[in-house]
Amino acid sequence: MISSTRPPTGLDLNRTAKIVGTAFDAALAEAGSSLPVWLTLLSIKSRSLANQREHAVAIGIQGATLTHHLNALEGQGLLTRRRDPANRRVHQIELTEAGEALFLRLRAVAMAFDKRLRAGVPEEKQAQFAEILAMLRANVGFTASE
Q: Domain of 53: which CATH number? A: 1.10.10.10
Q: Using 70 as the pLDDT threshold, list the residues of the chain that sit under it.
A: 1-3, 48-49, 144-146
In whole angstroms, what is the distance from residue 39 CA to residue 19 CA? 19
pLDDT, residue 48, reads: 66
Residue (of 39, 52, 6, 28) closest to 105 by Cα position: 28
Q: What is the SS3 assignment for 7?
A: coil
Q: What pLDDT sits at residue 85?
A: 77
Strand partners, 58: none
User: What was the pLDDT predicted at 63?
Assistant: 85
- Residue 8 in any domain: the answer is no
Residue 47 in 3-state DSSP?
A: coil
pLDDT at residue 122 in the model: 97
Indicate whether 106 belongs to any domain: yes
Cα separation, 141 vs 72, whole angstroms: 35
Tally of domains within the chain = 1
Is residue 10 in a domain?
no
pLDDT score of 46: 87
Domain of residue 40, residue span: 26-132
Q: CA 26 → CA 33, 44, 88, distances in Å?
A: 9, 23, 39
Please indicate, yes or no, if residue 85 is contained in any of the structural domains: yes
